[in-house]
Structure 1
Amino acid sequence: MQATIWHNPKCGTSRKTLAILEEAADVELTVVEYLKQPPTRAKLEQLYRDAGMTPQEGLRVRGSPAEELGLTQDGATADQILDAMAQEPMLINRPLVETAKGVRLCRPQETVQEIL
């Protein structure tokens, strides 16, 4: 099974999720350090759609400029959030994992088991 993780090596949850994926049998893993290689806006839109979540639910607030940019307010639209994430990948909550079985925001890291 092919799996892709949008990973931040400085994040403990992301590192733990990556370890689960590396230990899983029959997983061909692609690791994307999303701060260095951010996903496109279209890819983000697809990931959140496939995960069954909104861009607002995928927004990283802690340790990001989300509040300063007005993205945490009720009036912030999905389009505004996706545009901001595409420009500033620090706004993307992680780790996102995609397999043929779906996409999950793996917080907590055990959530990855749902798509393996």
Structure 2
Amino acid sequence: MPGHQTPMRGGLKWLDLQCLNRYQKTFKDASSTQQIEMVDDIAYPKKVKPGMQQGVAFFSLMRDLTASGFFTTEIGIKDLGYVGNVPNRWEGVPADVLKQYGMEGV
């Protein structure tokens, strides 16, 4: 999606710069613990720390795009249990209703 290219690139650059300032490594080269620490700082919009708003916006965009992408795939739709528009199964008029109207043999 061309409209998302600039925010994605900017967000990745922001993430690398934050990691370089903190750990002297890019996000990719940071340890798992450092990566998780960094992501924890931007994954929760209601708990945003000062100076992390750009990272929160980037992470929210990536989370939304990832979820939208996954839940529009065949496996994502199966994961939701979505079956689409399915007509009801008609098994005829129930026997007790037919009996009530004297139509058992019809």
Q: Same fold (TM over 0.5)?
A: no
Q: Which has the greater radius of gyration? A: 2
What TM-score comes out, normalization by structure 1 length? 0.27
Structure with the largest fraction of helix = 2
Higher relative contact order (CA 8 A, sep 6+): 1
Structure with the largest fraction of strand = 1
What TM-score comes out, normalization by structure 2 length? 0.29
